[in-house]
Amino acid sequence: MTGVELIVAALAAAATAGVTSGAQDAYAGLKGLLVKRLAGRTEAVEALEARETKPGVWQARIGEDLAACGAASDAQILAAARAVLAQADPAGTYTVEQNYGAVGQFYGPVTIHPPFTPGTV
């Protein structure tokens, strides 16, 4: 995931995370950092204030500005984006290395019971 994708995902997650204080506090921190970094980029700041809920919309509206102003490589901003995602989805997204034919993204605990013993097919 690139820096822009991480920030965009965090913005979208915060917009849909509900009103948990942890998610809202983390979002406020991220937003404050972004507003400072995007200073002088009026359209990007206005898009940030609009608080969209879809990653594709965020990406289209502020993605280029995030990359151009250096936000996508700013360690503090990326840490704040990760904090937002952690608060918005505490269970996290898991990477499955042995999927035995299962396809797609997995969210939360997943147990896969293969129909065969691995390595025998």
Mean pLDDT of the chain: 76
Average pLDDT for residues 80-92, to the nearest whole number?
81
- Give residue 19's pLDDT: 52
> What is the per-residue pLDDT across 56-75, written as a single tens digit (0 to 9) for each?
676 788 888 999 999 999 99
- Give residue 18's pLDDT: 60
- Give residue 121's pLDDT: 44
Q: Hey, which residues does 106 pair with through a beta bridge? A: 94
Q: Hey, which residues does 94 pair with through a beta bridge? A: 106
- Give residue 55's pLDDT: 60
Within 13 Å of residue 56, how many CA atoms lie on the same side as its CB?
A: 0
User: How many angstroms separate the CA atoms of 121 and 111, rounded?
Assistant: 20
pLDDT band at 34 (very low <50, low <70, confident <90, very high): very high
Average pLDDT for residues 44-63, to the nearest whole number?
76
